[in-house]
Amino acid sequence: MTETAAFSDSYTTARDRFVEAAQAAGGDVQRFVNPHAKGPSGATLSLDTVWFGPRDASAVLLNTSGTHGAEGYAGSAAQLDWVNGGGPASLPPGVAVLMVHAVNPFGFAWCLRGTENNVDLNRNWLDHTQPHPENPLYEQVHTLLCPKRIDEKAVRRLLNEGARLIAKHGQWALEDAISRGQYSHPDGFHYGGASLEWSTSTLKSIVKHDLASARQVAFVDWHTGPVGDGELIFLNFSPPRSVGRTQAEQWWGRDTLNAAHVDQLWGSKRPTRNGILFWGIEEALSTHATFAGAVVEFRSSSPKSNAADALRVSMLERWLRFEGGLDAPEAASYLAEIREDYAPNRESFRETVIGNARMTYTQTLAGLAAWRGADAAD
């Protein structure tokens, strides 16, 4: 299979190809249909899972795609390429793989980042009966980010007012307020929701059920976004010197996970995090398994000229959802722009994605097998 053959042009095609390949490779496939939303032309939306390897394996790689909807085109291609490339037949003894395709099928199908409720799934996995994390500065930028029309005037206002807020609060504080997640404006940026999304509760029950006998769980959550051409950024959320961190460093390299290195690739210091899948899954497994892994980003978007340019794709998504609608005259060109950031058509991007995905699967599965062996020897 050539590198780029695993890329699909739509969610439905990607999903069908994944399920067909998984079955052909002897995987145990399950479908979870989202009852709350449909795709373009009324398409059924589902999160699909496949299990490869022994059901009672102590070491399992959990590999997810499409947590951020449109970012799933690359993740889905990475998964399909591994399945079609003989991955399932070459698993180390005692190691299994649980692949989850399209955690957020609504976003994947419509080429948006959030769920059917405009929720960012990496801000949603919280106990919503408790007070939500606060983000008071977000209030001051909300209207700047959410114009009725995205035109010159809105951009000028965003840059001018944004500069005033940066002078007062600092650049990073403002970036953090915009992207850390907020729980006060359902029509705003990085909204974390008021309850668990269908995607979150479905994934949670899959983790609890399918990984009930696992002891060592590795996690790779494929994403895209930061400026680049398919190169990787590993975001690890385990405390320094924890088992999870130590394992991840052994598999992917200490320098790869180093915070200063990651910030440099990311383009700025990483924001505060709450409600991410990484911690939600770790918590769901905490009674019986140790957890190590990362959000792995394929860098995808083209360079940005200023803050308004960097925020543009998120503004377009929000405008399509709450101002113009997905059937607005602007929708086709706005969606194409969004897609070009998260899932570019460039051949160079696609080739690099697959090469890096293959390397990451190899490193992770070898590391997981070694981890299992070391635990068994204790």
How far apart CA 180 and CA 189 sit, in angstroms, is 9
Q: How big is the CA angle at 259 (ends 243 and 237), to the nearest 5 degrees?
A: 40
Q: With contacts defined by CB under 5 A, name the span among 82-90, 173-181, 215-223, 262-270 that binds Zn ion.
A: 215-223
Residues in 218-237 at the binding interface with Zn ion, rule: CB under 5 A = 223
Q: With contacts defined by CB under 5 A, name the span among 24-32, 69-77, 268-276, 360-368 that binds Zn ion.
A: 69-77
Q: Which is nearer to Zn ion, 132 or 190 (CB)?
A: 190
Smallest gap, in angstroms, from Cβ of residue 261 to Zn ion? Answer: 19
Q: How many residues sit close enough to Zn ion to count as binding (CB under 5 A)?
A: 3
Q: Which is nearer to Zn ion, 210 or 297 (CB)?
A: 297
Q: Which is nearer to Zn ion, 266 or 322 (CB)?
A: 266
Smallest gap, in angstroms, from Cβ of residue 301 to Zn ion? Answer: 12
Q: Which is nearer to Zn ion, 71 or 210 (CB)?
A: 71
17 binds Zn ion (CB under 5 A): no
The residue written with tokens 């977000």 in the block is 138
Residues in the chain: 378
Burial 225-262 (b: 16+ CB within 10 A, else e): bbbbbbbbbbbbbbeeeeebbebbbbbbeeebbeeeeb
Residue from 17, 68, 101, 299 binding Zn ion (CB under 5 A): 68
Smallest gap, in angstroms, from Cβ of residue 120 to Zn ion? Answer: 9
Residues in 296-325 at the binding interface with Zn ion, rule: CB under 5 A = none
Smallest gap, in angstroms, from Cβ of residue 348 to Zn ion? Answer: 21
Q: With contacts defined by CB under 5 A, name the span among 42-50, 71-79, 179-187, 324-332 that binds Zn ion.
A: 71-79
Q: Which is nearer to Zn ion, 81 or 221 (CB)?
A: 221
The residue written with tokens 């160079």 in the block is 348
3-class DSSP state of 50: strand
Q: Which is nearer to Zn ion, 213 or 272 (CB)?
A: 272
372 binds Zn ion (CB under 5 A): no
Smallest gap, in angstroms, from Cβ of residue 119 to Zn ion? Answer: 13
User: What is the full DSSP assignment across 90-146?
Assistant: GPPTTEEEEEEE-SSHHHHHHT-SS-TTSB-GGGT-S-TTSPPPP-TTHHHHHHHHS
Q: In the chain, what is the straight-line distance between the N-terminal and C-terminal CA atoms, in Å?
A: 41
Smallest gap, in angstroms, from Cβ of residue 317 to Zn ion? Answer: 13
Q: Which two tokens stand for residue 104?
A: 């957020």
CA 112 to mean position of chain CA atoms: 12
- Angle between helical axes of 347-377 and 243-252 (0-180°, round to 10): 130
Q: Which residues bind Zn ion (CB under 5 A)?
A: 68, 71, 223
